[in-house]
Amino acid sequence: MPKVEVKNLYKIYGSKPLKALDMVKNGISKDELLGKTGNGIGINNANFVIEEGEIFVIMGLSGSGKSTIIRCLNRLIEPTAGEIIIDGENLCTCNKDKLLEIRRKKITMVFQHFALLPHRTVAENAAFGLEIQNMSKEQRKEKAYEALAMVGLKGYEESYPSELSGGMQQRVGLARALATDADILLMDEAFSALDPLIRKEMQDELMELQASMKKTIVFITHDLDEALKIGDRIAIMKEGVVVQVGTPEDILDNPADEYVSTFTKDVNRTKVLSAAAVMKKPDYVVTRKDGIHMAVRKMKDASISSIFVISKEKMLLGLVTIDSAIEAIKKGETELTSLLIQDFDRTSPDTSLEELLPIAIRTKYPIAVVDEQNKLLGIIVRVTVLAGIAGEEIENV
Amino acid sequence: MFRLPLGDYFDYLVHWLQDHGETVFDGIKDSGMWVIEHLEDILLFLPWWLLVIIFIALGYFLSGKKLAILSGLGLCLIYSLDLWEETIETLSLVFTATFLALIIGIPLGIWIAKNNTAEKIIQPILDFMQTMPAFVYLIPAVMFFGLGKMPGAIATIIFAMPPVVRLTNLGIRQVPEDVIEAAVSFGSTSDQMLIKVQLPLAMPTILTGINQTIMLSLSMVVISAMIGARGLGEVVLNGVTQMQIGKGFEGGIAVVIFAIILDRLTQSIGKSKTRKRKA
Ligand SMILES: Nc1ncnc2c1ncn2[C@@H]1O[C@H](COP(=O)(O)OP(=O)(O)OP(=O)(O)O)[C@@H](O)[C@H]1O
Ligand SMILES: [Mg+2]
C-alpha cells in the first residue's frame, strides 16, 4: 500500500470554486478561466502515489502549483475536490480532531523561510510541536535536544534563532519537524533560501539522515539539479497539472513533453545518469564451455574485438580478445580458460557517468557492469557513454 | 431645502438611553467609582516618599539608572509644587481609565484581528471615537453618570482606547504568514495559536498601543476636569479660567512630568522584552 495516494485532486482559488471546477473539468485553460470567472487554478486533476520511505520531489516553474499541492497534503489549503489517502485514510473527509491528530503525529513540515519563533530559544522552537501536544516540559526538552543533536546543532540549544546563520536556522526548522517523530516530512523549497554551498551541505545531510530515518519525504524545489540529486522519484508540474512522474532517469530520458524537456535540457547528465542507465545488455557473451571457436564466431558476427566470458550462473569470469583466440586456434587449443584476461574495468550499476567517463576514455576494453556477486549485468563501451551524455536512445547506437 | 435632522435623532437616543438605561449606568458608575476611589485612598494612604521610591525602583529595574533618576527627580518636583494630592487623583483616574480601556481594548483588538467582518464594522467606530471632539460626548456622559470622576473616566476611555485596539489588531495581523502556517501544520488549536504564537509576536506592537493609550488618557485630564474630575486637570483649568497663569503652568508641568515617566516606563517594558531575543 502506498503511503500517500492523491486521486483526482483539484484546487480552485477564488469565490464559487465548485462552479469553476466544472469548467476546469471540461478543459478550460487557466487564463481563460481567470478571465471569465476570476478563479485561479491551483491544482488541476493531480494523480500520483508516494511510496513509504521515498523522497518524492515536486518540480515546476513558479506558479505551477507546487506549494498548493504540498499544502493540501496537510490541509493547510483545503482541496476543492478529490481524495488524499494517507495510510489508507482519506484526509479530505476526516474531522477536525482527526486532522489535528494527523498534523501532530503523522505529517510535519519544513518551511522555505524557516518560520521560527523569534522569542523562543532554539530548543523551545524545536520543542514546539511537542508542546502543542501537551507533552511535559522535561520530556519535550529531552526530545528537542535529541533532534537538535541529530541535525548538528549541539551546543546551540539555548541560543535565539536571530543568533544563527540561515543554514543553522533551517536545521532548527528540520529539528522541529523531526522531534515529533512524524513519518511524513513536507519540505517546501526548504533549501532555496540558502546559499549554494550551505545548500549542498544540507542536501547531503538530509540524504544521510534519510538513510537512517526512512521517512517519507515530499520535497519541493525548482532546481532540477537538486531534484535529481535527492529525488527517488520526481513529479513535474505545469499550470496545476502533474505532467510527469518518474525516476530521475525517466525524466531525463523520456521527457513526457516539450515543457519537461526544457527543464532537463541544461542538466549535466553525467552527474545524473548511472552506469545502469547507459549500459548495453550483454547480448554477446560466451560461457566457458562454449569454447574458443564459438567465441571467435560471436566476435566476428558482432564485429567486436573482445568478448566477456561468463559462467552458467552469469558470473563474470574474464575477457577474451580476438587476437589471442585466433592465436590459440592456430595452436590447436580449444579451452577458453587459459586465455582469460582480467585487466579490464569493472563497475557497479550505480556509478555515475561522471566517474565512468575517464575510464571509458582510457580503457581499450569494454567496461563490465557487475553487481556485488560479480554477476554481469551489462556492458559499457565508449560510444554508449557518449550517447548517454548526448541523451540519445541507447538502442540506436 | 431639506435638512437631515441627525442632531434630533442623537438627542432622542440620548434621552431614550437616559430614561431606560438608568440602572445600567448607575451600576457602571458605582463600580467605576469604587475602583477609582479605593485606588486613590490606597495611593494617598502611602507616604509620598514610598511612592517615589516605588517609581524609582520601577525605573531602575525596567530600564536603568537614568530612568530611576528621572522618576525620582520628577516626582520630588511635583511634591515640592504642593500638587501631590491632585497628582494622585489624576493618577487614579488615568490608571482606572487605562485599565478599563485595556480590558476592553485588547480583546476587541484580538477579535477584529481574527474576524474581517468585525474589523470592517469596528474600524469606523474607532475613527469616530478618536476624531469626534470630546465635548460632544462629554455632555451625554454627564447626563448618564452625573458630574464627577466617572464621566471623566468614560470620556477618557472613549478617547484613549482606539490605539490599543488598532495596534493589537495590527500586531496580530503582522505575524508572518509562514509562522502561522507552521503553527497550524504542527496541529495548533486556535487558542494555542493565539497564546503561543500571535500574542507573543504581537507583543511589542501591543505594548506600543498600551503606551499610546496611557498617553492619551493623560491628555484628557483637563477636559475631564471640566466635568468635575478634579486632579491636576482642575489646577490647569483654574489657572486658565482665573487668569492664574503661573498656577496653571505648575499643573501643566506636573502632567508633563507624569506623562514622561509613564511613557518611558511603558516603553522600557517593550524594550526589555525585545532585548532578550536580540541579545
Ligand atoms: N491564496 C491564493 N489565492 C489565489 N490564487 C492563488 C493563491 N495561492 C496561489 N494562487 C495561485 O495558484 C497558482 C499556484 O501557486 P503556488 O503557490 O502553488 O505555486 P508554486 O508552484 O508554489 O510557485 P512558486 O515556485 O513561486 O512558489 C498560482 O497561479 C498562484 O497565483
Ligand atoms: Mg511555492
- Quote the pLDDT of residue B18: 85
User: Any long-range contacts for A389-397 (C-beta under 8 Å, 24+ apart)?
Assistant: A389/A269, A389/A270, A389/A273, A389/A353, A389/A357, A391/A252, A391/A253, A391/A269, A394/A278, A394/A280, A397/A280
Element (H, E) at A285: strand A285-287
- List all residues of chain B from 162 to 181 with a beta carbon under 8 Å from chain A: 176, 178-179, 181
- Looking from the CA of residue A42, the nearest atom of ligand 1 is 12
- Quote the pLDDT of residue A176: 96
Cβ-proximal residues to B258 (8 Å cutoff; 6+ apart), any chain: B74, B78, B87, B90, B91, B218, B232
pLDDT, one tens digit per residue, over A52-106 is 999 999 999 899 999 999 999 999 999 999 999 999 999 999 999 999 999 999 9
- What Rg do the C-alpha atoms of chain A give, in angstroms? 27
What grid cell was written down for A248?
530521475
What grid cell was written down for B100?
478599563
Q: Which residue has the cell 495510510?
A: A87
Q: Which residues in chain A touch residue B276, judged by CB atoms under 8 angstroms apart?
A: 119
User: Residue B175 and residue A83: Cα distance in Å, rounded?
Assistant: 32
Quickly state the pLDDT bin for B277 (edges 50, 70, 90). Answer: low
Assess whether pLDDT exceeds 80 at residue B271.
Answer: no
Distance of CA A285 to the CA centre of its chain: 33
- Quote the pLDDT of residue B260: 93
Assess whether pLDDT exceeds 90 at residue A255.
Answer: no
pLDDT, one tens digit per residue, over B113-150 is 999 999 999 999 999 988 988 888 888 888 888 888 88
Q: Which domains does chain B have, with CATH numbers?
A: 6-45+81-278 (1.10.3720.10)
Of the residues B179, B180, B185, the best mutation for testing chain A's interface (the one with the most A CB atoms within 10 Å of its CB) is B185
Contact A278, A284 (CB under 8 A): no
Cβ-proximal residues to A6 (8 Å cutoff; 6+ apart), any chain: A46, A47, A48, A49, A50, A69, A73, A82, A83, A84, A85
What grid cell was written down for A154?
549541539
Name the residue among A19, A11, A14 with its Cα closest to residue A82: A11
Q: What is the mean pLDDT of residues A30-42?
A: 90
Q: Parallel, antiparallel, or unpaired: how do β-strands A55-60 and A216-220 relate?
A: parallel
C-alpha to C-alpha distances, B125 to A148, A155, B132, B223, nearest whole angstrom: 49, 52, 10, 21
Which segments of chain A belong to CATH 3.10.580.10?
Answer: 276-396
Return mean pLDDT, chain A: 89
Q: What is the mean pLDDT of residues A350-371?
A: 85
Q: When comparing pLDDT for B245 and B120, which is higher?
A: B120
Which segments of chain A belong to CATH 3.40.50.300?
Answer: 49-269
ipTM score assigned to the predicted complex: 0.81
Assess whether pLDDT exceeds 70 at residue B272.
Answer: no
CATH superfamily of the A276-396 domain? CBS-domain (3.10.580.10)
User: Residue B40 and residue B58: Cα distance in Å, rounded?
Assistant: 20
* Least CB–CB distance from B186: residue in A116, A119, A128: A128
| Cα–ligand 1 centroid distance for A170 (angstroms) | 23
Q: Ligand 2 being an ion, which residues bring their Cβ within 5 A of it? A: A 67
Neighbours of A266 (CB within 10 A): 9
Fold of A49-269: Rossmann fold (3.40.50)
3-state helix, strand, coil in chain A (%, to 5): 45, 25, 35
Query: Best mutation site among A66, A80, A259 for ligand 1, i.e. most ligand atoms within 8 A of its Cβ?
Result: A66
The rounded percent of chain B whose pLDDT value lies above 70 is: 97
Ligand number with the minimum distance to the CA of A69: 1
Quickly state the pLDDT bin for A121 (edges 50, 70, 90). Answer: very high
Assess whether pLDDT exceeds 90 at residue A235.
Answer: yes
Q: What is the mean pLDDT of residues A340-353?
A: 86
Element (H, E) at A48: strand A40-50
The rounded percent of chain B whose pLDDT value lies above 90 is: 57
Nearest CA in chain A to B278: A162
Q: What is the mean pLDDT of residues A245-254?
A: 88
Least-confidence region, from A231-235, A281-285, B37-41, B213-217: A281-285
DSSP B195: I
- Quote the pLDDT of residue B126: 94
Quickly state the pLDDT bin for B24 (edges 50, 70, 90). Answer: confident
* Least CB–CB distance from B179: residue in A104, A117, A129: A117
- Quote the pLDDT of residue A351: 85
What grid cell was written down for B236?
490647569
pLDDT, one tens digit per residue, over B70-83 is 999 999 999 999 99
- Looking from the CA of residue A66, the nearest atom of ligand 1 is 21
User: Residue A65 and residue A331: Cα distance in Å, rounded?
Assistant: 72
Neighbours of B13 (CB within 10 A): 11
User: Residue A240 and residue A245: Cα distance in Å, rounded?
Assistant: 14
pLDDT, one tens digit per residue, over A182-222 is 999 999 999 998 888 888 889 999 999 999 999 999 999 98
Assess whether pLDDT exceeds 60 at residue B278.
Answer: no
Amino acid code (one letter) for A48: F
Q: What is the pTM of this model?
A: 0.79
Q: Which residues in chain A touch residue B188, judged by CB atoms under 8 angstroms apart?
A: 132
Please work out whether the CB of residue A318 comes within 6 Å of at least one atom of ligand 1. Answer: no
User: Residue A102 and residue A83: Cα distance in Å, rounded?
Assistant: 16
C-alpha to C-alpha distances, A222 to A188, A226, A235, A264, nearest whole angstrom: 10, 8, 11, 12
Assess whether pLDDT exceeds 50 at residue A397.
Answer: no
- Quote the pLDDT of residue A267: 72
* Least CB–CB distance from A115: residue in B179, B188, B277: B179
DSSP B194: I
The rounded percent of chain A whose pLDDT value lies above 90 is: 52
Please work out whether the CB of residue A64 comes within 6 Å of at least one atom of ligand 1. Answer: yes
Neighbours of A37 (CB within 10 A): 17
What grid cell was written down for B253?
508641568
Least-confidence region, from A117-131, A133-147, A359-373, B250-264: A359-373
pLDDT, one tens digit per residue, over A306-327 is 899 988 888 888 998 888 888 8
Q: Which residues in chain A touch residue B200, judged by CB atoms under 8 angstroms apart?
A: 117, 119
Q: What is the mean pLDDT of residues A224-247?
A: 92
